[in-house]
């Protein structure tokens, strides 16, 4: 169920997303015959059939396979029109709907969601999406996605000119991200994968909390011993990852 959108246009987009993108992907074979076969149009109109889509109940309606909205265009338009906190929460719910319907979400889509959530100041929603990985499908198994997550948290502090409260907040987020990488959902890839899927010891991952802790210690009287511990981990990760070569 979506929260109340900030505009009528966005309301219509989300309604279309539910009824014309998600719903058709969840229909049984019998239901598909009802909605797609022209000869069943009169029957469906005379004897309405409702179907549950999560917490929402929608009526089945006649559909033309050739006139269904483009998934990518609808998804991008929802993101473009999002403004309020509720709108961005709905973007995360769109991801959940796609995951539940078994609709593949491309790497580009996932990166875009993370980038736009950061730009809109909704880093908490990124953490929520990463924490609910089984529902959202937002897994940190791709290097570019991991970097998008890290960059956005870094920018929270940097764009505030390393304000104490914002840097502390970014540091807490960074530690949560590192902790989440211990979750199997974020680090175990398919068998015989050719790509790196475990980023726990990646220098970029270790560097983010190290940087933020160092700024807190240097500018705001933070824990110096914590910086030393993180710096040792960073040096070990650099050595292990051959960054020194």
Per-residue pLDDT reduced to its tens digit, 53-107: 777 788 888 888 888 999 999 999 999 999 999 999 999 999 999 999 899 999 9
Where do runs of H (alpha helix) occur along 194-223?
203-220
Q: Where are the beta strands (DSSP E) in the chain?
A: 50-53, 56-59
Lowest-confidence range among 7-21, 37-51, 125-139, 173-187?
Answer: 37-51
Distance CA 78, CA 51 (A): 24
Let me know if residue 91 belongs to a domain: no
Q: Residue with structure tokens 């109940």? A: 57
Let me know if residue 100 belongs to a domain: no
Question: Looking at residues 240-245, what average pLDDT do you find?
Answer: 62
What is the per-residue pLDDT for 117?
96
What is the per-residue pLDDT for 195?
56
Percent pLDDT > 70 in the chain is: 94
Does 218 or 185 have the greater pLDDT score?
A: 218
Look at residue 63 and give its three-state secondary structure. coil
Let me know if residue 92 belongs to a domain: no
What is the per-residue pLDDT for 224?
97
Let me know if residue 195 belongs to a domain: yes
Let me know if residue 226 belongs to a domain: yes
Q: Residue with structure tokens 């078994």? A: 102
What is the per-residue pLDDT for 20?
92
Let me know if residue 37 belongs to a domain: yes
**Final residue belonging to a domain, choices 67, 86, 102:** 67
What is the per-residue pLDDT for 9?
97
**Final residue belonging to a domain, choices 67, 86, 112:** 67
What is the per-residue pLDDT for 167?
98
What is the per-residue pLDDT for 54?
72
State whether the Cα torsion 56-61-66-67 is positive or negative.
Answer: negative
Residue 45 CA neighbour count, 13 Å, CB half: 8
Count of all residues that appear for the chain in the document: 245
What is the per-residue pLDDT for 245?
44
Let me know if residue 57 belongs to a domain: yes
pLDDT band at residue 37 using 50, 70 and 90 as cut-offs: confident
Residue 244 is given by DSSP the state: T
Distance CA 59, CA 234 (A): 56
- Give the structural domain span for 17: 8-67
What is the per-residue pLDDT for 192?
46
Question: Looking at residues 110-130, what average pLDDT do you find?
Answer: 95
The burial class, CB within 10 Å (0-12 / 13-18 / 19+), for 177 is buried
Let me know if residue 117 belongs to a domain: no
**β-strands 56-59, 50-53 pairing:** antiparallel
* pTM of structure: 0.87
Q: At what angle do helices 8-16 and 85-100 cross, to 10 degrees?
A: 10
Per-residue pLDDT reduced to its tens digit, 175-201: 999 999 999 888 765 544 545 678 888
Instruction: Tally the domains of the chain.
Output: 2
pLDDT of 243 > 70? The answer is: no
**Final residue belonging to a domain, choices 48, 67, 86:** 67
């Amino acid at each position: 169920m979506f929260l109340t959108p900030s505009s009528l246009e966005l309301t219509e987009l989300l309604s279309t997303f539910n009824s014309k993108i998600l719903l058709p992907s969840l229909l049984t074979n019998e239901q598909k015959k009802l909605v797609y076969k022209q000869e069943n149009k009169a029957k469906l109109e005379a004897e309405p059939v409702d179907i549950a889509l999560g917490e929402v109940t929608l009526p089945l309606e006649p559909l033309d396979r050739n006139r269904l909205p483009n998934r990518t265009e609808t998804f991008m338009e929802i993101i473009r029109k999002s403004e309020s906190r509720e709108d961005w929460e709905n973007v995360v719910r769109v991801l959940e709907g796609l995951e539940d319907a078994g609709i593949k979400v491309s790497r580009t889509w996932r990166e875009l969601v993370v980038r736009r959530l950061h730009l809109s100041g909704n880093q908490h929603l990124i953490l929520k999406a990463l924490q609910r990985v089984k529902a959202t499908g937002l897994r940190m198994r791709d290097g570019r996605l991991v970097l998008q997550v890290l960059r956005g948290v870094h920018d929270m502090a940097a764009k505030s000119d390393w304000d104490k409260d914002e840097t502390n907040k970014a540091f807490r987020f960074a530690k949560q991200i590192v902790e989440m990488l211990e979750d199997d959902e974020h680090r175990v890839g398919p068998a015989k994968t050719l790509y790196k899927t475990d980023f726990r010891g990646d220098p970029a991952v270790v560097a983010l909390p190290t940087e933020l802790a160092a700024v807190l210690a240097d500018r705001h009287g933070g824990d110096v011993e914590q910086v030393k511990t993180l710096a040792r981990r960073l040096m070990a990760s650099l050595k292990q990852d051959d960054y020194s070569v």
